[in-house]
Amino acid sequence: MKIYIWALIIIVALGGVYYYSTNKEKVTKVDESTMCFAYTSEGNGIKDVYNLSLDIKGDKVTGDLNFLPAEKDSKTGRFSGIVSPFGSDGDTRVIAAWWNVSAEGTNVREQLAILLNKDTAGIGFGEMKDSGNGEYVYANLEEVAYTLSLAKVPCTI
């Protein structure tokens, strides 16, 4: 009789452990990554440098984007925004952000789109217009072209 009672206790205990393990709340890992990208163009003794660094935490992204052309005014600044889930190819994500830009002695806020792949980042270019509150937005999001492709590089401190 004692064996049946102990067997019943063990079965109930194992059943409880099984129920708890299959019904507890599942914790999903938050995507956290730091990535850096760069593009350098050299010719005729001049060098244009473009660099991008970004920190992704879940669906939030922050970073720095710097355009440093040799013979033109530079545009530099920090941005923050959101990053999409991976696309159907499992590789592509889109960043929608606001870039706080310093250029030609002025500070403005611009809409920024970045097409992020495994090894490249495409910066979205298109006609910009003043939204009426001092922020510059793409005139037509459908016409944004990702013509500047930066290659993934190691991040340096």
In a domain, 19, yes or no: no
Structural domain boundaries enclosing 112: 32-153
In a domain, 7, yes or no: no
The predicted model scores a pTM of 0.76
The answer to whether the CB of 129 falls within 8 A of the CB of 137 is yes
CA triple 45-48-54, angle to 5 deg: 155
On the question of pLDDT at 20 being above 50, the answer is no
What is the torsion angle, in degrees rounded to the nearest 10, for the CA atoms of residue 72, residue 74, residue 75 and residue 77?
180
> Coil, strand or helix: which one is 87?
coil
Give the pLDDT confidence of 45-65 residue by residue, as tens digits: 889 999 999 999 999 999 999
Give the pLDDT confidence of 21-45 residue by residue, as tens digits: 454 444 444 567 999 999 998 888 8
In a domain, 59, yes or no: yes
In a domain, 56, yes or no: yes
Query: Where do the DSSP E strands lie in 9-144?
Result: 32-43, 46-57, 60-68, 75-83, 93-103, 106-116, 120-125, 128-130, 135-138
Structural domains in the chain (count)? 1
In a domain, 8, yes or no: no
Supply the pLDDT for residue 157: 58
In a domain, 14, yes or no: no
In a domain, 15, yes or no: no
| Number of CB atoms found within 10 A of residue 16's CB | 10
In a domain, 85, yes or no: yes
Query: Which residue did the predictor score with more confidence, 149 or 86?
Result: 149
Give the pLDDT confidence of 112-156 residue by residue, as tens digits: 999 999 899 999 999 999 999 989 999 999 999 999 999 999 998
> Coil, strand or helix: which one is 48?
strand
